[in-house]
Amino acid sequence: MFHKDYERKIDQLVNELTLEEKIKMIHGAGLFRTGAVERLGIPPIVMSDGPTGVRFEFFNDNWGRAGHNDDGVTYCPSNSAIAATWNRELAGKSGTVLGEEARGRGKDIILAPGVNVMRTPLCGRNFEYFSEDPYLISEMAVPVIEGIESSDVGACVKHFAVNNQETERNWVNVEIDERTLREIYLPAFEAAVKKAKVRSIMGAYNLFRGVHCCENNELLGEILRKEWNYDGLIVSDWGGIHDTKAAAESPIDVEMSIYANFDEYCMADPLLNAVRNGEIEEERVDEKVKSILRFMLRVKMIDIVEAKSGDNEQTAISAGCTEQKPAVYAVRDRSRKKGSYDTSAHQDAVLETARESIVLLKNEEQRLPLAPEKTHRLLVIGHNAAKLHSNGGGSAEIAALYEINPLLGIKMELGGNCEVTYAEGYYVPDKNRQQVLNWQEVSLDELASEQGAYEGNNPEGRKIQKALREEAVALASEYDDVIFVGGLNHDTDEEGYDRPDLKLPYHQDELITELLKVNPNMVIVMMAGNPVDMSAWIDDAKSIVWMSYAGMEGGRALGEILFGEVNPSGKLVMTMPKSLDQVPAMVFGDFPGRTLMEEEHERMNAKLTETYREGVFVGYRYYDKYQIPVQFPFGHGLSYTTFSYGDMQVKEPDGQTFKVQIPVTNTGKLAGKETVELYVGETEVSPENPVKELKGFCKLSLAPGETKYAEFELTAEAFRHFDEKTDEWKVVAGSYTIYIGSSVSDIRSVTTITIK
């Protein structure tokens, strides 16, 4: 809560506002800005999309690019890449880059980070999110938020809540039990509020228990405002509000949308008229305005000052007060940080993150690293090797100052001492879709119908595909060293779209299979924000590298890792299942949802209902519980060196916490980094609980032969579960097992403790 003096000033300033001015402040007056009240010096709040960087400038009233020549910015690794570092410090640095660039570009809110759970491997926006595990999401999101907000800008955590699919995202109703909600889908939001003190939160498009999230009093009122004592700003997703009365009576503070009819928004003229007619109390509007002013004070947009007797100096942000001087008004807070963008420090930070985000999945016969001094002729195959990804993905698109793709990164690493040949390998047709005002609401049926064309499944496309494949296979037979770079792109990892399956697009499986037949030593690099099915060729591949969209320096980082300048240390943030029918949302439920009957649709204004029947068994919790083999487990990631783990030691110094430590030794010949993962579970596992859950991790940097201790502190929070009968968190007395390992499936040390 703010100091009482600030709250008093906020109340005074609200009293100076007319109803019309208040309404002006609580809805968009531009596609990315709210209304200002010049008379009292209150500026607009200026926002920008920002999961991977500050988005380029749009016109105020349409989605055309405004033509600025200075909106090229630092392209940051996606959240899925940041999380793959398992490095809290790098997460903080990434947030700092976003915050400084947002301020440097004159923004007050950067619409990031997204902290939704990767419930399925199909969600088009998974690349924007951190993980399938709520603890890992929380631990990485908090430093990102703190980094952003260190620059006097507001992070905007999104999308609150249970927003886990793009299929009918505006019209899908989510039904979920309370325990699963609390243990899986809310922890990252709660950490953002309680630990990071986040300044703004975005409501989600979907419905929750029959009510749209942006109008949902259970989520926004009972949980967010009352239970978590959140007094920050709540912003709707763009077009997420559907009803004036419901929005007015919910805690949502600002309505944003995708259309330019700003005065027709639900919380614009319709709300103004409803208040005038006595249908809605003006106090409802006042509370929203107070949240806005509180936010402005927190990010130092304004200070609120009291008018002095005889003071005729114009000190408001914008002149305009020609009538009676107000008792209080807003002035610019000149202590606010200015920010910066496109700096070498930012580029260094994103390179550091990109390096640690890349995951070595498989490395038989120590195929990697390649020796640059022995590499004289190299063949690089794959559309993703030469593709740029910064300009796609929906609201994640930005104008990058530059982007080093894998092909360029490999060439930079090798210099002029190697002949590098490139073959496209597979055909990716251009979507060639015109940008439209309401692209967010393009139906998924339309997207799905276009997908066949994107695959090149037409006579001309098949002809091109065949020619490219034959060229690549012929070349691969002539080279000793071949690197294939494939995976997904932002035609599939994209806002507004969920993939239909786990298959690699563009007939990549057939290509990879043929390439491995003629060159079994080929190195495979998969670039994607979601798991893919590798079963067609995984057994034949000797080395597989995984990377998400790693930002403007991602290609350079990849080149450094492939040729041994950097030792890989990334680990998976999601399980890679063998097939779609292994995914718990498919096993237990009817993803993407059950089509509603007409009366249901009319009652809740939804098209689908998706019931989360898998409960808490999301991701590795399911595969671990039912002992289902997967392609690669959660937390997996290899190194060019090896690490040995000693015996775990556990102490209970105060009866409140357990202090855990374990020695880890680099037993190889190269320096490397190892993320030590700690899991907790009941010794005698009850049917309703997972076998084990991530409750700690520690990344160690070790020279050859060096030993360091990974240290953890476990409080009651690590052992608790939500009891639906009593509606509270509980720790059940008994025996618990602590597991420490290199992944959820590679456990190196186990011990038991007793909680009384």
CA distance 196 to 721: 23
- The answer to whether 9 touches 304, Cβ cutoff 8 Å, is yes
CA atoms in the 13 A half-sphere facing the CB of 249: 11
Task: Kindly tell me the burial class for residue 216, based on how many C-beta atoms sit within 10 Å of its own C-beta (0-12, 13-18, 19 or more).
Answer: buried
- The SS3 call for residue 415 is helix
DSSP 466: H
- The answer to whether 32 touches 48, Cβ cutoff 8 Å, is yes
CA distance 368 to 205: 44
Q: For residue 79, what are its two tokens?
A: 């959240």
- The answer to whether 230 touches 189, Cβ cutoff 8 Å, is no
Of the residues 237, 303, 491, 624, only one is catalytic, namely 237
In single-letter form, the type of residue at position 669 comes to K
Tell me, yes or no, if 237 is annotated catalytic: yes
Beta bridge partners of 33: 30, 46
DSSP 261: -
What is the residue whose two structure tokens read 């060159």? 519
- The answer to whether 637 touches 743, Cβ cutoff 8 Å, is yes
- The DSSP result for 141-200, as a single string, is HHHHHHHHHTTS-EEEEEEETT----TTTTTEEEE--HHHIIIIISHHHHHHHHTS--SE
CA distance 78 to 75: 9
- The answer to whether 359 touches 571, Cβ cutoff 8 Å, is yes
Alpha helix (H) residue ranges in 317-371: 344-357
CA distance 141 to 192: 7
- The answer to whether 186 touches 622, Cβ cutoff 8 Å, is no
Q: For residue 226, what are its two tokens?
A: 């009352």
Q: For residue 53, what are its two tokens?
A: 């960087």
- The answer to whether 692 touches 739, Cβ cutoff 8 Å, is yes
Catalytic residues: 237
